[in-house]
Amino acid sequence: MTEKNHYIAALIVKYLDNSLNEAEQKELTEWINAEEHHRDLFTEMTDPQQLTTHLQQFYAYDSEKISQKISQHIPAFNDAPAGIRTIYFRKWGWAAAAALLLLGGAYYWTSRVHNKPAVIASLPVNIEPGKQGAILTLADGREVVLDSLHNGIVASQSGASIVLSEGQLVYDPTVAGNMEMQYNKMTTPAGRQFHVTLPDGTNVWLNAASSIRFPTSFPGNERRVEVTGEVYFDVVKNANKPFIVAVKDKIDIEVLGTTFNVNAYENERSIRATLIDGSIRVGVVSTDHRKAVTLQHGQQASIKEQLITIADHQDPEKILAWKNGLFNFDGATLEEVMRDLERWYDIEVVYENGIPNSDKFIGEMTRQIALTDLLDILKRFQVDFRVEGRKLIVLNK
């Protein structure tokens, strides 16, 4: 977002608070009259009903979170006395908070201002957002679709009973068995995500279009699982039995007890392991040698063609937005945004004449928004497209 946009945002906030001086009123009026797009935007941003609707699409009403978002994008808000900030919320409630948010964050996903109309075709059906659900493949090859099952025992495997409870699958290793090593596989199709508790108590969350293969018990000297897609781990500590995550036969991640996220989608440019808490060791599997690095809190390892790059100070809210029911598009390109939408809404994105050049996006929004509503938001930011069934065709004019 440009300094000019920051300044205009501050003027609109002062307009809402009826505190513009004569010079500021003149500047705001000139900006409004400069372009029809500015006039439409100003009208919408000063309509409490529309502001409330927009804000509810992005955040639950949380004044502390709203204040944090405002402060990130409108520096002038930080300089306001605490009492003044409180007045913003008490006097204008949703409207003032939304005006700040919409200008300072989610509303300006891009800093471009265009007048050209976006193209959108009506959807033949309303495509709903993804939901909880997965397919469990048992050791004998049987598949269990978990979306439609009620709470209770799903199956029994060697050394464990498998229980579905409130949308979470739990492996209970206390049930007697012959402890034969057998493997299950949990798969989330596009448009699904799921939470499973492994036999050792480790909690695993799978994003859409992901999988984890794991034994029904861990009798050996290590706990090894295999993943694809994006998976978040909260590993139970066991110093005598390290937990190993294998990724595409290319990466091994070794932990004793920690929380971390793995993004290993096929259509991403690199495999990324992000440490949230604790410590993990990321190793590149190779026929002739093995490279490995140890990550500390907030670090991310990106692996591409056996080269490991370390980045510090990762934002855990952004990394785990998917797990917490949000899209976080801060710093994302149009292509990255579309890959997220493909996986969550189970659609196909096609670029008619190549990928359009665009500024990077900013902002956060709920993943529980219907596709029609999300496309309406994209339309506001001049993303041109048409829809054919479950195919979203992005135009490049």
Flag whether pLDDT at 59 surpasses 50. no
HEC sequence for 108-158:
CCCCCCCCCCCCCCCCCCCCCCCEECCEEECCCCCEEECCCCCCEEEEEEC
Residue for token digits 């996220």?
261
What are the domain boundaries of the chain?
3-104, 319-394
Mean pLDDT of 53-61: 48
- For the entire predicted model, the pTM comes to 0.72
d(CA 129, CA 347): 11
The token duo for 50 is 């529309």
% of the chain exceeding 90 in pLDDT = 33
Q: Which of 64-68, 177-181, 308-312 has the highest mean pLDDT?
A: 308-312
% of the chain exceeding 70 in pLDDT = 71
Q: Check residue 193 and give its pLDDT.
A: 95
Q: Check residue 61 and give its pLDDT.
A: 41
> pLDDT digits over 168-208, tens only?
898 887 654 456 778 999 999 999 999 999 999 999 999 99
Mean pLDDT of 9-26: 77
Mean pLDDT of 126-140: 89
d(CA 110, CA 83): 31
168 close to 197: Cβ distance less than 8 angstroms: yes
Chain mean pLDDT for the chain: 77
For helices 94-104 and 82-92, give the axis angle rounded to 10 degrees. Answer: 110
Closest to 393 measured CA to CA, from 346, 328, 343, 338: 338
Tell me which fold the domain 319-394 belongs to.
Phage tail protein beta-alpha-beta fold (3.55.50)
Q: Check residue 368 and give its pLDDT.
A: 86
229 close to 210: Cβ distance less than 8 angstroms: yes
301-307, long-range: CB < 8 A, 24+ apart:
301/272, 301/273, 301/274, 302/270, 302/271, 302/272, 303/250, 303/251, 303/270, 303/271, 303/272, 303/273, 304/269, 304/270, 304/271, 306/250
Beta-bridge partners for 206: 194, 231
The token duo for 288 is 């002739």
Q: Check residue 319 and give its pLDDT.
A: 94
Q: Which of 161-165, 236-240, 247-251 has the highest mean pLDDT?
A: 236-240
DSSP-derived letter for residue 352 is B
> pLDDT digits over 373-388, tens only?
888 777 766 778 888 8
Flag whether pLDDT at 289 surpasses 90. no
d(CA 271, CA 302): 6
Q: Which residue has the higher pLDDT, 140 or 230?
A: 230
> pLDDT digits over 73-115, tens only?
444 444 444 433 333 333 334 344 444 444 444 333 333 333 3
Q: Check residue 4 and give its pLDDT.
A: 61
d(CA 108, CA 325): 21
256 close to 233: Cβ distance less than 8 angstroms: no
